[in-house]
Amino acid sequence: MAKQRIQYECGECGYVSPKWMGSCPICSTWNSFVEKKEERKTVTKHKVDVSESDQDEVVKLSEIVYSDKERESSNVKEFDRVLGGGFVKGSFLLLGGDPGIGKSTLMLQVALQSPNIKIFYVAGEESASQIKQRASRIGLKGDNLHIGSNTEVHSVIAMTRKLNPDLLIVDSIQTLFSDELSSLPGSVQQVRECSALLQQIAKREGVTTLMIGHVTKEGDIAGPRILEHMVDTVLHFEGDKNHFYRLLRCVKNRFGPAQEVGVFEMKGDGLQEVPNPSELFMSEIDSPVSGSAITCVMEGSRPILAEVQALVTPSSFGTPQRTASGYDQKRLSLLIAVLEKRGGHQFTGQDVYLNIAGGLKISDPAADLAVASALVSSLNDTVTPRNKIFYGEVGLGGEVRKVSFSEMRLKEAEKMGFLTAVIPKNELIKTEKIKVTSARTIADIIE
């Protein structure tokens, strides 16, 4: 006999507590606890004998057949790159992103550009006619695409078994529900139950399954954290609402490189792949102005040139402003402090604004040197040539430290027609076209 006991569960992170709480002690969300009826199973003795069917579930590693050809290309190059070369058969993926960023468009485009892959698309967010409208906007037909609008998870699974597609796309996991549970679609219980059932479809029956998921205000994928542990690959689709570029970032990948990025541009007729993103993030200024410096940051295994723009002006208020967009504000304050202490530059009484052109968000420490040089350039009102590139991490002692992938960064700069590079000392790199100047400390960049 199963006994029932009332517990409370946090709707954000799934933390379970025996009493109701106003704020979750784990994720600090307010008012997120809902009643959860827990089924307590009575303890049964586990069987000792091993039956025939149990033995089937244990295999010797040497007997497992595996071929690397079991990857299916999606025909969208940037998408394949992020996955590490295409979909692995039977893998379980999660794609998250802000509403309206283009998740459905991306998946529809993948679906429509791969006529050789049979796809079952469960549309919980839009009607079939809305999808048709979008598909015709992208300009593709899609005979390989089957669209389902029933979002009850058992029906989805039954339909998947019947259709036997190569790829199952669930848009989105928050609209799926199991009629065996009483909670609403999107609740922790429902998301957990539905994704567990879908995982079985992927693992047992070899149907590659991709779930689209919503993100919370903090940028995490909504629903229980276990969702991210359960899947093989977690993808994030991100971008700036005011700009048209979109980055597809891989944050976890069991079958390929993590941290890889794909770059797209949202156009009137769907997403366009951007094979050369460096062009996208350079500003349109032709003649050089003070306060601008170009750097090369790594996004996954890919070097991208970015322009750092700084504006240093005398402050009209008591407390000077320090504003950064696309860059960490604390890192900016730190670099200003290093420049004051180790470089002898005075930013007291000056407002400092920092911007990364094109709306890119930089977290690579290699951009430090460019930020420092843009700041000094604006402070002294001197101009840095447009054909010069800076990269290197700046330490608290004012020293310029080595960064990874130096050679790739230089190659990219060379490709984009740069003539000089200021890089950390001790980097042993030979280049043909670029003149390399090495910087040992922050004071060296001022000359």
Residue numbers at the binding site for ligand TYD (CB under 6 A): 97, 99-105, 134, 137-138, 266, 268-270
Q: Is residue 104 involved in binding Mg ion (CB under 5 A)? A: yes
134 binds, among ligand TYD, Mg ion, none (CB under 5 to 8 A by kind): ligand TYD
105 binds, among Mg ion, ligand TYD, none (CB under 5 to 8 A by kind): ligand TYD
302 binds, among ligand TYD, Mg ion, none (CB under 5 to 8 A by kind): none
Task: Kindly indicate which of the ranges 98-106, 138-146, 173-181, 423-431 contains the residues binding Mg ion, using the contact rule CB under 5 A.
Answer: 98-106
What is the Cα–Cα distance from 326 to 338, expressed in whole angstroms? 20
What is the Cα–Cα distance from 285 to 69, expressed in whole angstroms? 47
Site mask, Mg ion, residues 52-91, x = CB under 5 A? ----------------------------------------
* CB of residue 262 to ligand TYD, shortest distance in Å: 15
* CB of residue 131 to Mg ion, shortest distance in Å: 10
Nearer to ligand TYD, 40 or 267 (CB): 267
269 binds, among Mg ion, ligand TYD, none (CB under 5 to 8 A by kind): ligand TYD
Contacts of 1 (CB under 8 A, 6+ apart): 42
100 binds, among ligand TYD, Mg ion, none (CB under 5 to 8 A by kind): ligand TYD
* CB of residue 103 to Mg ion, shortest distance in Å: 5
* CB of residue 100 to ligand TYD, shortest distance in Å: 5
**Could you tell me which residues are beta bridge partners of residue 249?**
236, 261
Nearer to ligand TYD, 270 or 326 (CB): 270
* CB of residue 139 to ligand TYD, shortest distance in Å: 9
Nearer to ligand TYD, 18 or 139 (CB): 139
* CB of residue 138 to ligand TYD, shortest distance in Å: 6
What is the Cα–Cα distance from 113 to 75, expressed in whole angstroms? 6
Nearer to Mg ion, 134 or 146 (CB): 134
* CB of residue 270 to ligand TYD, shortest distance in Å: 4
334 binds, among Mg ion, ligand TYD, none (CB under 5 to 8 A by kind): none
Nearer to ligand TYD, 156 or 212 (CB): 212
What is the Cα–Cα distance from 177 to 191, expressed in whole angstroms? 7
**Could you tell me which residues are beta bridge partners of residue 239?**
246
101 binds, among Mg ion, ligand TYD, none (CB under 5 to 8 A by kind): ligand TYD
Nearer to Mg ion, 125 or 240 (CB): 125
Which residue of this chain has its Cβ atom nearest to Mg ion in the complex?
104
Nearer to ligand TYD, 108 or 362 (CB): 108
**Which is it for strands 420-424 and 435-439: parallel, antiparallel or unpaired?**
parallel
What is the Cα–Cα distance from 9 to 190, expressed in whole angstroms? 13
Nearer to Mg ion, 110 or 332 (CB): 110
Nearer to Mg ion, 234 or 371 (CB): 234
192 binds, among Mg ion, ligand TYD, none (CB under 5 to 8 A by kind): none
Q: For the segment 108-137, give every residue that binds Mg ion (CB under 5 A).
A: 125
Binding site for Mg ion (CB under 5 A): 104, 125
